[in-house]
Structure formats: structure tokens, C-alpha cells
Amino acid sequence: MGDPITLIGKWLESLLFGWGLNPGIISLIMAVIGVVAIASAVLLIDILLVWVERKIVARFQDRLGPNRLGPFGLIQPIADVIKLLIKEDILPRGADKFVYNLAPILALATVLLLWAVLPLSSTIYGTNLNVGVLYIVAVGAISTLGIIMAGWASNNKYALLGAFRTVAQMISYEVPMVIALLVPVIMARSMGLKDIVDAQSVWFLFIAPLPALIVLITSIAELGRAPFDLTEAESEIVAGYHIEYTGMKFGLFYAGELLHALTVGGIIATLFLGGWRGPGAETYPILGVFYFFIKAFFLYWVIMWVKYSLPRIRIDHMLNLNWKFLTPLSLAILIVTAILDKILPRSPGAIYALGMLAANIIVGWITLQLLKSNVRRERKRVGEPRPVAQPETSAATITSQTSSSSS
């Protein structure tokens, strides 16, 4: 196995063992080194993401984007970070100081925590937790808590409104997400992310496209990105929960949001796109890291594409989409998957895969028909003439008045 990171790990372990430390302390030291390595690598990628985000936004909007500092503006994010560091940190009057300071830390730390279970390749991963999917759902929910804390502690009405919207939105979208996440768990018979990747000789995207789509939509909602950015709608509630944050504290929210988008890309890549799988990744694990990030960045790009293509949706539409469309759909696809998984034979993989795909297509087709009939009904309802303040009569009185005054 010619994988440098595993080799370094093995070498360090034998070195520490040579010093005569006891195995418990060695595993603790190894854990600390692993955590620091993963977290700093992820944060470095995060700084790069600022550049990626700005550059891709610019391209979507037919601009050039940052192009002055360094080649292709690559040094721009570092300048941004330095600028944020030397900005004054303003504490708003009447703010709850402890919660106010804790919120941005929580917003970034929870996203970092998600990387503990993501397998970057067959040998490089933080840990293969046997409740990995549950861990992702649980830790992902804490970042919502950070936003609620920020909104509550800022002593600002707009921030509080943003926090309320967070409660309604991010919490609601967790329900269909959790239901849809059960589908890969059923197919892989495990909640460990590494086991789920190992089970994907066929990518789950091809045998379960509907759950993949549901997870993508709900993840975008959990991120609070457009078209679901009601929590920070700048035209309605100015900036929502981070309105009172300045300097590096705002920077942490920003970095957390960007990193969360890439992390969501990584999670979906792991669950549905085969994670590190690709040609040659079994023999050369370092290639797996490359494939993983290609897939994660592709999904990040898809999320950005959605963000800059769709307008923000209204809050009642947003909640209806979740409770009246995504939740029933995900429950239906879960029931179909569970029963089919038991009935279909596992041994020739082709029958299993084709059966699942067919079931997904049928459920998707039925959903589309229901949606079409619903849209027809909705158009009819909105198009019906409404009781108005009778413009004809008022116009008649005006004319009678003018005629009377003229006469």
C-alpha cells in the first residue's frame, strides 16, 4: 500500500512505541495528531473556497472576479483573511456576551466535526464510526443551534427574525433528509460511512436517484443557501442572524457557510456517488482522495449553480415544499425501498439494481403527475376573480362627480 499518510502514521506509532509509552497514551497522541491534521487541512481548503466561491460567482454573473492579487487572484482570500483579522470587533449594546461570542465558534466547529467521519480514501479517514450517518445528522443540527444562538444574542430584531425562520426552515428540512438517508443505510446494511462506500459497487445514485435528489434539496435548505436563504434574506431582514457581527466573527460565519457547502458535497458524494471510488483507487489510496474531492467539488459547484440560478422562495412555499411534498415523497420511497430490498434477490446485482431503479422511476413519475394536477388546481385557484372594492362603481361616482361639478 503506497499511501504516504498511512506510512507516516505507522512510522509515528512505531516511534512512540519505541519510546516506551503505554498503548493508551499512544492512541491518544495519534488521535490528537490526526484531528489537528484533518482540521488544518480542511481549514486550508476553506480559505481556498473563498477564492473558488468568488471566482465562480463572477463567472455566473459574467464578470472576471478577483484577478489582481497573484495569478488568477489566488492570493485574494489571504488578503481577505488579514483584512477581517484587523477589523474592529463591535459588541452591540444589550447583547448576551457569552452566547454572542460562542455562536460563530459553534458555527465553524460543527462543520469541522463532520469531517471526522468522512472517508477520504480506503485507508485515509478520521474514524469509521458505526453510527456515522446518525452522527452526521446530529452534528449537522448543532450548526443550526449556532445560528439560533447568534440571532437571539444579538439584541436585534432582524437577527431574531432570522433565528425564528431558522427554527421553521432548517429544523423542518431535517425530517425528509433523515428519511432519505435511511435508504443508503438499508442498501449498505450499515451506518458507517466507510461501509457505505464499500457497498457501492454500483453508485447509489443510479439505484436510488430520488433519495439522492431529496438529500441534495434538503441539504441546500439546511445550508440556508438560495433559494432557501430566508434566514439571511438581505432584502427583507437585512442580513438575518449575522447582522450585528463584524470582523473575524462574521468571517467565521462566512467560512462556516462555505465549508458547510463543501462538506455537504462530500457527504452526498460519500453516500450516493461512491465516495473515493474510481479507477485505480483500490490499489493507490492517494488517488481516492483525489476522486473524493473531485466529486465533492462537483456537488459544491451544483449547489452554487442552484444558488445563482433560482430566486428566493416565499416562506409558506418553502414550508409547503417540505411538509407537503418532500416528506410524503421520502416516506413513500423509503417504504418502496424497504419492501423491494427484502423481495428482490441480492445475488445477481443487476436484477437488484434494475428493480430499484425501476421503482424509483415509477415513484418519480407518479409524483410528477400528482404535482402537475396540483399545479393545475393551484393556477385555477389563483386565477379565479377575487372580490375587489368594485372599481366600476367608484369610477362611476368619479364621473358623476366630475359631470356634476362641470354642470
Partner 1 sequence: MLNDWLFIGVFLVLAPLFPALALVIPRIVAPRKPNALKSQTYECGIETVGNTWVQFRVQFYIYALVFLIFDVELVFLFPWAVAFDQLPLFAVLEGVLFLLILIAGLVYAWRKGALEWV
CB nearer to partner 1: pick between 244 and 307: 244
Contact residue for partner 1 among 172, 218, 263, 360 (CB under 8 A): 172
Contact residue for partner 1 among 67, 101, 123, 367 (CB under 8 A): 101
Q: What is the closest distance, in whole angstroms, from the C-beta atom of residue 181 to partner 1 in the complex?
A: 9
Phi and psi, residue 119, nearest 5°: -80, 115
Residues from 35 through 94 that contact partner 1 (CB under 8 A): 35-36, 39-40, 43, 85-94
Q: Report helix, strand or coil for 259.
A: helix
Q: Within a 10 A sphere around the Cβ of 83, how many other Cβ atoms?
A: 12
Q: Assess contact for 136 and 80: CB atoms under 8 A.
A: no
Q: What is the closest distance, in whole angstroms, from the C-beta atom of residue 210 to partner 1 in the complex?
A: 16
Residues from 329 through 348 that contact partner 1 (CB under 8 A): 331, 334-335, 338-339, 341-343
User: Beta partners for 125?
Assistant: 119
Residue with C-alpha cell 473531485?
294
Contact residue for partner 1 among 65, 209, 247, 364 (CB under 8 A): 247
CB nearer to partner 1: pick between 69 and 315: 315
Burial of 345 (0-12, 13-18, 19+ CB in 10 A): exposed
Query: Residues 35-73, buried b or exposed e (16+ Cβ, 10 A)?
Result: eeebbeebeebbeebbbbbbbbeeeeeeeebbeeeeeeb
Answer yes or no whether residue 105 interacts with partner 1 by CB under 8 A: yes
Region class of 124: left (phi > 0), else alpha (psi between -120 and 50), else beta: beta
Query: Rounded CA gap, 311 and 306, in Å?
Result: 9
Amino acid at 309: S
Contact residue for partner 1 among 80, 222, 232, 244 (CB under 8 A): 244
x/- site string to partner 1, residues 110 to 139, per CB under 8 A? x-xx--x---------xxxxxx-xxx----
Answer yes or no whether residue 327 interacts with partner 1 by CB under 8 A: yes
Query: Rounded CA gap, 163 and 145, in Å?
Result: 9
Contact residue for partner 1 among 76, 190, 263, 360 (CB under 8 A): 190
Query: Rounded CA gap, 356 and 204, in Å?
Result: 10
Stretch that binds partner 1, among 165-173, 216-224, 269-277, 298-306 (CB under 8 A): 165-173
Q: What is the closest distance, in whole angstroms, from the C-beta atom of residue 294 to partner 1 in the complex?
A: 25
Q: What is the closest distance, in whole angstroms, from the C-beta atom of residue 392 to partner 1 in the complex?
A: 32
CB nearer to partner 1: pick between 49 and 108: 108
Answer yes or no whether residue 5 interacts with partner 1 by CB under 8 A: no
Answer yes or no whether residue 378 interacts with partner 1 by CB under 8 A: no
Residue with C-alpha cell 446494511?
189
Q: What is the closest distance, in whole angstroms, from the C-beta atom of residue 242 to partner 1 in the complex?
A: 11
Residues from 279 through 318 that contact partner 1 (CB under 8 A): 315-316
